[in-house]
Amino acid sequence: MQQPSIPLIAHSSRWRRGLYQIISMVLMGTALTVSSVQANDAAPQDAQKPTEIRIGLPDQSAGSKPFIRGPLGLAHIRQRLEKEFEPQGIKIQWSFFKGAGPAVNEALANKQLDVVYLGDLAAIIGRAGGLPTRVLVGSRGSNSYLAATPESGIQRIEDLRGKRIAVYKGTADQLSFERAIKSVGLSERDVRVINLDWTAGKAALAAKRVDAVWGGVSLLALRKQGINIVTTSRALGWANTTQAVVLATQDFIDRYPGTTQQLVNVLVDNAQWIGDAQHLPEYTALMSGQSQIPQTMFQEELKAEDLPFQSSPRLDPFLLSSLQNSIERAKAAGLIRNTFSASDWFDGQFTDRALKAKGLEANWAVYDANGNAVK
């Protein structure tokens, strides 16, 4: 006798209800995941806006007007941050320090600054000393120069043995110099390093009180006085150049994540502008006018083919590797007591968010530890 079909119908109905429940749960989970991703991509908001942003930078000017290069320096010259924040009632306070990195770190320790731009060594010394900073934006590939008197007989880095070399200690120049001499098997014990700031170092070299100076682009001006430019850090490869970072205090980031994002957005815009070779004549003119360093020197230093690398704001493997290497070198040289993880120091969410929001993710390659583009 044929069995009734009702139980089969009931079973089929229960199966369909179960399937619908599973599908609903999957869709709900997908929606939650999408919402979470969108929330992470969305610009953070401040519970309360700051009344001011206190920015500290080393002053690399050769004249009376303060100067620093890069996206933050361009923001100062063109008043980009004032235009961004003053309509919101937020004042921008710029502080330039002739004492360079050590002076900036002292102001950070005294809680007088929120955002700073520092070369690798000064930033590392501050972090290792307990300053609660985070890396927001990278800067890379800055060249250093070895300038020497003709009488010194210095024609290559190997000739520095036993010579008097002026280096501004506590700044990125110190690590850059250490890398350069180590590349030819020398150490600081093999040379007579004299700690002079940038201005004093140039004066001492011109007066022939030292045999050589290791420093920045302004040394090129001494060629008119018969000083020789022997070599550069760039000639030794990107890994031997100087890196720098834009830092913010953890307290500022935690209290004002939205303001932090706005600031990084401006810096990423500036990095894009600097990285466009069509802007190179205008950029070098702006830097020259602000710094009183001849434009021809910036033109000699900055090459169109290097801009994609040098202008990148990314916190990529190159910057990570270089800073970690600098941390280890600083420890080996006795400049810091303890090492720390560069990756834990990085806070790349703001740069990543800016690149995505502005459609600039493909504008800069990701570079490996040797400075080679990998994607």
Beta bridge partners, 56, equal 95, 116
Contact between residue 233 and residue 240 where contact means Cβ atoms under 8 Å apart: yes
Return the pLDDT at 21: 52
Say how many CA atoms lie within 13 Å of 62 toward its Cβ.
19
Q: Are 210 and 201 in contact (CB under 8 A)?
A: yes
pLDDT tens readout for residues 271-306? 999 999 999 999 999 999 999 999 999 999 999 999
Q: pLDDT-based confidence at 32, cuts 50/70/90?
A: very low
Q: What percent of the chain has pLDDT over 90?
A: 85
Q: 37 falls in which pLDDT band (50, 70, 90)?
A: very low
CB environment 304-326: b (16+ within 10 A), e (fewer):
eebbbbbbbbbbbebbbbbbbbb
**Average pLDDT score, the chain:** 90
What is the helix, strand, coil percentage profile of the chain, to 5? 55, 15, 30
302 token code pair: 């900055």
> What is the C-alpha separation between 190 and 314, in angstroms, rounded?
37
Number of other residues whose CB lies within 10 A of the CB of residue 96: 19
Confidence of residue 99 (pLDDT cuts 50, 70, 90): confident
Residue 71: what residue type? P
CB atoms within 10 A of CB 82: 15
| 211 backbone dihedrals φ, ψ, rounded to 5° | -85, -30
In this prediction, residue 375 carries a pLDDT of 75
Unique residue bearing structure tokens 């910057």: 319
Helix intervals (H) in the chain: 6-41, 70-78, 80-85, 100-109, 120-128, 172-182, 198-206, 250-255, 257-275, 280-291, 295-301, 307-310, 317-332, 342-345, 349-357
Closest CA to 258 of 84, 112, 33: 84
The pLDDT value given to residue 180: 95
User: Is the CB of residue 23 less than 8 Å from the CB of residue 83?
Assistant: no
Higher pLDDT, 53 or 218: 53
Domains of the chain from N-terminus onward: 52-141+242-357 (3.40.190.10), 145-232 (3.40.190.10)
Tokens (6 digits) for 144:
């250093």
Given a cut of 90, whether residue 31 has pLDDT beyond it is no
Residue 13 has pLDDT above 90, yes or no: no
Distance CA 210, CA 295 (A): 27
Spatial distance between the Cα atoms of 153 and 349, rounded to a whole number of angstroms: 50
